[in-house]
Amino acid sequence: MKFSISRTIFLAVAALVLSSGVYAQELHVQAKIPFNFMLHDKVYPAGEYVMRTLTSDNMVWISNANGTTSVLAPLSAGTKSPAKGTKLVFHRVGDTYFLYQLWVDGYTAARQFPKSHPETRITLNTPKSKTIVVAANALH
């Protein structure tokens, strides 16, 4: 009987510790993006955005005044040292901006968005692209 009660208490404490760790890994990032941009096949207008993600899954929720969209954004290969600052990285091809990565201050891996069909098509016709970085804030 004593063993059963100890084991039950241990399992309850372990579940509490593990579940609080997953909750703590939710990330909120806010950024003011000064230009229209594309993600997948959708154009997003310039403005304030909040991005939410759980490090345990591959979804990123992007919301602005017009609504919320969820997109697949797997973790990319990381770096050895943590990111210095929270930022969004865009590829600019011609006059079109494509969201490429989301970096959060202190993390060694970024969320990298897959290249869309429009970006691939435009890149074929305009091979020159520039990398544009927009500062963001990690909200806690």
Torsions phi, psi for 14 (to 5 deg): -60, -45
Please tell me the distance from the alpha carbon of residue 82 to that of residue 79, in angstroms, as a whole number: 7
The dihedral through the CA atoms of 37, 72, 23, 18 has a sign that is negative
Which candidate, 105, 91, 110, places its Cα nearest to that of 139?
105
Please tell me the distance from the alpha carbon of residue 58 to that of residue 73, in angstroms, as a whole number: 5
Type of residue at 73: A
pLDDT in tens, 112-137: 888 888 888 888 877 688 888 898 88
pTM exceeding 0.85: no
